[in-house]
Amino acid sequence: MSQPRTPPFPVSDHCDGRRFFNPGVDTDRSLADLLRWRREKGRVPWPAAVPSTPAPPPPAAAGPGEVLLTLVGQSTVLIQVEGCNILTDPVWSDRASPLGFAGPRRVRAPGIAFADLPRIDLVLLSHNHYDHMDVPTLKRLHARSAPRIVTGLGNGRTLARHGIDGVVELDWWQCCTPAQGVDVTYLPAQHWSSRSPWDRRRALWGGHAVQCGGTCVVFAGDSGYGPHFAAIGRTLKPDVALLPIGAYEPRWFMRAQHMDPSDAVAAHRDLGAAMSLGLHWGTFQLTDEAIDAPLAELARARAEAGLDEAAFRTPDFGTTLVWRRRPLPVEAPASAAP
């Protein structure tokens, strides 16, 4: 008599053993919903390309007490802490699609040319959608420096099929130490996963917290607004947050899975971060809003919340921001020495 098959994943408040779900929220949309969205024709056309001035290459490494943050585009950020260079959801491909000739096309060049990247030690992979899990880019990184990859349960299978190893799979709130002095926690998010019509919600989605030298940086991945942001804020007390602000229209279709800028400001406040960076805008047109709408709406939401512009920033692609983990010692002038 055959034994029942063991479910591939632990049963929990967000998994039935075979598929994952969002506690208390349904992010699934029906074919009828999709057809309604297409019929409404609310899409604002984007330009075919946005001219950009090439940025200088980023620093090779962060100095003592520094966290360097460079926005590359979409949800790709180069995070540099002392002794470790990290990429979030690296995408250098021209399309966010399983096809090289169709699907959303990049309208802004990456803020860092791939050849100008410093050695990458660690990749934080939030989930398996094509604008986040870009296998061609991951294969290039693997061939270049074989970084460790930290992601959610079930995502390693896809990467293994492409010869990519060094993958650490975590459930929500699980932790690992993929580099010396760098702790990573996989965080809840309100989203979903699939790379084909047959694998919906069979791999976990989420965000990451990077803790190093007394600083905590939260990368939210893709998420609708929900109570998980307050839980993350209470538990980890992040200093810096990387939050999505785009791909949100129409709201009746997108609200559960993608924040708009007002939601992102609420998430920023729930997290208690000293500084947030807006991601997931101006790279691939995935939804209906105009290319500049996320920036305009963030400015409005920030003003309504009484936030200074420096508290929630949208730097140009390729711009490196410096966050200092702690005040550095100030050397006294020689004349002041006893």
pLDDT, averaged across the chain: 93
Fold adopted by 63-325: Metallo-beta-lactamase; Chain A (3.60.15)
Q: What is the pLDDT of residue 55?
A: 86
- How many CA within 13 A on the CB side of residue 232? 34
pLDDT of residue 223: 98
Residues sharing a CB contact under 8 Å with residue 257, sequence separation 6 or more, in sequence order: 27, 190, 191, 192, 222, 223, 224
pLDDT(336) > 60: no
Does the pLDDT at position 332 exceed 70?
A: no
- Residue 321 above 60 pLDDT? yes
Mean pLDDT of 53-61: 90
- The rounded distance, in Å, linking the Cα atoms of 119 and 204 is 28
Indicate if the pLDDT at residue 126 is higher than 60. yes
Nearest-angstrom CA–CA distance, 36 and 253: 10
Mean pLDDT of 309-331: 80
What phi, psi does 137 have (nearest 5°)?
A: -65, -40
Please count the CA atoms within 13 angstroms of the CA of 46 that sit on its side-chain side.
Answer: 22
**pLDDT tens-digit map of 263-318:** 999 999 999 999 999 999 999 999 999 999 999 999 999 999 999 999 999 999 99
Query: Is the pLDDT confidence value at 326 over 80?
Result: no
Domain chopping of the chain, boundaries: 63-325
